[in-house]
Amino acid sequence: MKIDKGKVQEILLDGSARIQCPPDLIPASGQYLLAHKNASDAPLPVSIFFMDSTSNGFRCAPPTPLDWKPGDIINLRGPIGHGFNIPASAKKIALIAFDESSARLYGLISTALKQNAEVVLIGNTRQTDLPEVVEVQPLKSFADV
């Protein structure tokens, strides 16, 4: 586990954020970082999850703390967790989001597509920023998959 500083580069409209950080702090899919802004009123750090890679960091899944602004320096600790590996033999993958957002699953989508696997994303939220080849289904269709 590493401890270092990161920087909030951008807060996006969907509530995600682009975080600049050292390469060894970028979490894999299924891992997370504990993040805390200096002089924050929050007594505990928040968990931030990998969503996508950026040139010098990563995009974290929403929601991000409301008091974070672009340019803020944040303390990062992690990555925590073992992460997810998709078997090379997997050709059809169903990703199911039971909570309010499927953004935490986005990192697995790019991995699956690189393996030429078909991907179905199942959830109850409106999906944005997805490749066209990803099939999206509502959670009520889970029984049909």
Check residue 112 and give its pLDDT: 87
Q: Kindly tell me if the per-residue pLDDT of 145 is higher than 60.
A: no
Check residue 9 and give its pLDDT: 95
Q: What is the average pLDDT across 131-140? A: 81
User: Does the residue 87 lie in any domain?
Assistant: no
pLDDT band with cut points at 50, 70 and 90 for residue 14? confident
Same domain, 6 and 70: yes
Which range marks the domain in which residue 25 is found?
2-80
Check residue 53 and give its pLDDT: 85
User: Does the residue 15 lie in any domain?
Assistant: yes
User: Does the residue 86 lie in any domain?
Assistant: no
Question: Domain of 14: which CATH number?
Answer: 2.40.30
**Are residues 25 and 2 in contact, defined by beta-carbon separation less than 8 angstroms?**
yes
Same domain, 65 and 8: yes
Domains in the chain, number: 2
pLDDT digits (tens, 9 = 90+) for 69-92: 999 999 999 999 988 888 888 899
Same domain, 38 and 11: yes
Boundary of a domain, candidates 80, 108, 130: 80
User: Does the residue 111 lie in any domain?
Assistant: yes
Calculate the alpha carbon distances from 35 to 4, 55, 79 in Å.
Answer: 10, 20, 11
